[in-house]
Amino acid sequence: MAGHSKWANIQHRKGRQDAARSKLFSKLAKEITVAAKMGDPDPEKNPRLRLAVKAAKSASVPKDVIERAIKKSQAGDAEDYTEIRYEGYGPNGIAIIVEAMTDNLNRTASNVRSTFAKHGGNLGTTGSVSFMFDRVGEIMYPASAGDADTVMMAAIEAGAEDVESDEDGHWIYCADSDLSAVADALEVALGESEEAKLAWRPQSRTDVDLETAQKLMRLIETLEDDDDVQNVTANFDIPEEVAVQL
């Protein structure tokens, strides 16, 4: 068990602050529509949709928006989205994975490539950095869920593989294929989580200085601002003294 990365904590707090943004709502609704279209429109019968709805509720997406997104998946004129992953390097060689969902691959590829170039990075080929990450299920609980030992025991009993805890909360990791089952078991033991999703977990993280951290944050924020981009993950961390300055 270890303290969670400072960068991840900054991302999490920023996500809370941005929860009311229509752009975030749109991305969460898009995931709901795609999940429902690919499987059953009933969340109880569709693990991916159940997780998508959970993420939307955690971000305070209104119930009617969630219901419209599910209904949209069953409409004959629903958009066809392609899920695609981009991999590249940011300033100082930091590895970055960008997950997108798009109805225009040329537009998205051009935008992602341009963003990397403008912010001191470069887009690589598929597989160029993903070998430095593990594909996992990630379940987040607030610190109020219990102390580190309590959460660790509950996670082990639920079938999780690892837990990282600090003053901001608890991050529980499991095999990607076990996410739905582990999340359900943890809900019985600890109550409803703040987040449960598939994620890319860095196998190691590189500490960065203030200048590099600022460049990376600008790059990642610009990528996340793209309507086609769903998630951005990088393998850097921000030391305590740098986080204070940010």
Distance in angstroms (rounded) separating the CA atoms of residues 99 and 81: 13
Q: In this structure, what CATH number is given to the domain that contains residue 107?
A: 3.30.70.980
> Could you tell me which residues come within 8 angstroms of residue 97 by beta carbon, excluding any fewer than 6 positions away?
85, 86, 87, 129, 130, 133, 200, 231, 232, 233, 234
User: Under DSSP, is residue 25 helix (H, G, I), strand (E, B) or coil?
Assistant: helix
Task: Please indicate, yes or no, if residue 149 is contained in any of the structural domains.
Answer: yes
- Number of domains observed in the structure of the chain: 3
User: What stretches of 145-233 show up as alpha helix (H) in DSSP?
Assistant: 148-158, 179-190, 210-224
Task: Please indicate, yes or no, if residue 238 is contained in any of the structural domains.
Answer: no
59 plus 16 within the same structural domain? yes
50 plus 101 within the same structural domain? no
140 plus 117 within the same structural domain? no
Q: Are 220 and 81 in contact (CB under 8 A)?
A: no
pLDDT, one tens digit for every residue, the chain (246 residues): 445 676 676 666 666 555 556 778 888 888 898 888 888 888 888 888 888 888 888 878 889 989 898 888 887 666 788 899 999 999 999 999 999 999 999 999 999 999 999 999 999 999 999 999 999 999 999 999 999 999 999 999 999 999 999 888 999 999 999 998 999 999 999 998 988 889 999 999 999 999 999 999 999 999 999 999 999 999 999 888 887 887
| Chain position carrying tokens 């998205």 | 108
Q: Are 29 and 191 in contact (CB under 8 A)?
A: no
141 plus 198 within the same structural domain? yes
Distance in angstroms (rounded) separating the CA atoms of residues 170 and 151: 8
58 plus 98 within the same structural domain? no
Of 202, 201, 161, 153, residue with least CA distance to 178: 161
12 plus 37 within the same structural domain? yes
Q: In this structure, what CATH number is given to the domain that contains residue 54?
A: 1.10.10.200
145 plus 52 within the same structural domain? no
Task: Please indicate, yes or no, if residue 236 is contained in any of the structural domains.
Answer: no
61 plus 162 within the same structural domain? no
Residue 95: phi and psi, rounded to 5, are -80, 135
Cβ neighbours around 75 below 10 Å, total: 10
> Could you tell me which residues come within 8 angstroms of residue 87 by beta carbon, excluding any fewer than 6 positions away?
95, 96, 97, 98, 123, 124, 125, 126, 127, 128, 129, 130
Q: Which two tokens stand for residue 71?
A: 């209904």
63 plus 15 within the same structural domain? yes
Q: Are 139 and 182 in contact (CB under 8 A)?
A: yes
195 plus 209 within the same structural domain? no
Q: Which domain holds residue 34?
A: 6-74
Pairing between β-strand 206-207 and β-strand 236-237 as defined by DSSP bridges: parallel
152 plus 183 within the same structural domain? yes
138 plus 188 within the same structural domain? yes
Q: Are 216 and 236 in contact (CB under 8 A)?
A: yes
Of 62, 54, 60, 9, residue with least CA distance to 31: 54
Task: Please indicate, yes or no, if residue 173 is contained in any of the structural domains.
Answer: yes
Write down the pLDDT at residue 118: 96
Task: Please indicate, yes or no, if residue 194 is contained in any of the structural domains.
Answer: yes
Task: Please indicate, yes or no, if residue 243 is contained in any of the structural domains.
Answer: no
